[in-house]
Amino acid sequence: MRIVIQRVLEAAVSIDGAVYSQIGPGYLLLVGFEDGDNETILPEMARKVVELRICDDENGKMNLPLSSIAGEILSVSQFTLYADCRKGRRPSFIRAAVPEKATVLYDAFNRELEKYGVTVKTGKFQAEMKVSLINDGPITIILDSDEIIKTGGK
């Protein structure tokens, strides 16, 4: 599982020219799943997202978790996080989980995030979405379950 976290002042997803979901200050998450991923990694990845101290404290230092700013999450499924660009000019996505599996994992991950009391809004799985955001910082963090969980990195 890979997650790109962007700290935002606001973010929105539009589908067919209409706003589908939007948030104020918080995190835009781009969430992708690999073929070998399963639900056992979701609680730890959700905990990592909500407990990361990447929000500014009163001194402007990244020292606070999302809950300290009453931030929201906009979670967007993003299979292209598993693009393999090593050969040729057209990416391969064979490592990405198939849609039937990825949608189950995506929904379950968003439920894990909600367990922390954070408001979670989503994109629409497999829809053609337009994502807009105002990146705050800019702060962009990449989490990979292979590094965080499978190798014991905390």
Catalytic positions: 78-80
Cα separation, 117 vs 80, whole angstroms: 29
Cα separation, 47 vs 59, whole angstroms: 25
How many residues in total does the chain contain? Answer: 154
Residue 74 near residue 27 (C-beta atoms within 8 A): yes
